[in-house]
Amino acid sequence: MTRKGTQITYQSAGRNPDGDNRINLKGVPKIKSKKEIKKLSQDEDFFFIHVSDFETYGIDKLTHRHKTFFLLEPNPVTFYFSIAFDVVPQFEKAKNELSNLLRCKEQNETHLAIIFSLIFRVASIGILFSFLSIEAFMNQELPDYLKIDFRNKKMTKEDIQRWATFDEKLLSIIPEITKKDFNKRCPKQSSTLRKYKTLRDELVHLKQKKKAFASYNNIYQDILNINLSELVSIAKSYMNFYRPGTIINFEIPDNKL
């Protein structure tokens, strides 16, 4: 048996492909003691960075129960995606339990409701966090200081984040910014992603659609029909298409845990 998971990745604040890092650290004084670090950590205007030969990363100053610590800033896209990735086996297991129950001659209504509740919960988590990871990733791709051509206007990153729809980012804004187009390279996956986005919106707003006296029959059926593994796989493919290595999954044998 193996355990599957998602590796934490980090978003660079700057990259120089020539290897000559853009940040000049010659004038930065060296910290000589832990006491000095503690003093600087309490200064809200002082920040820390991690610099490698090719990348520059932010370091978070965080406090927990009056203890300050430093953390190389993880990319939250990793966390969002890992939640969706982790519930896929739970979803498949719950659907198998439902299949087994439906094969029984006598069905326990309480047990049926409990299993469907689990299916709905884990599917909702997987769907919502798949799209949270994608939309957070899209916002990261927007340039900080350049204005973007959008709806016949020059708009800032903040404008795009506020006003642009998912489809506008997916189909035009991100391809224009990156000069790469996932939709043309993977049209079937792009179409499937947009279809699942409709289900995501229905889950968020949960508008009543009367069918006789039942209001949510259609969305419950959509939940049963969804291929959650496919959605999670497309989310990973989309992000890695634009930023290879953003999402990295791993397997660890039980005897290595």
The pLDDT assigned to 14 comes to: 65
**For the chain, what are the domain ranges?**
2-72, 76-256
Q: Which of 2-16, 34-48, 72-86, 122-136 has the lowest mean pLDDT?
A: 34-48
Residues 176-233 have pLDDT tens digits of 999 999 999 999 999 999 999 999 999 998 877 766 677 889 999 999 999 999 999 9
Burial group, residue 156, by CB count within 10 angstroms (0-12, 13-18, 19+)? middle
Residues 93-108 have pLDDT tens digits of 999 999 999 998 887 8
219: its two tokens:
């969305």
Report in angstroms the alpha-carbon separations of 240 from 33, 108, 152, 237.
Answer: 41, 44, 30, 5
96: its two tokens:
């198998």
Q: Above 60 in pLDDT, residue 16?
A: no
pTM to 2 decimal places: 0.86
The pLDDT assigned to 255 comes to: 61
Q: What is the CA radius of gyration of the chain?
A: 23
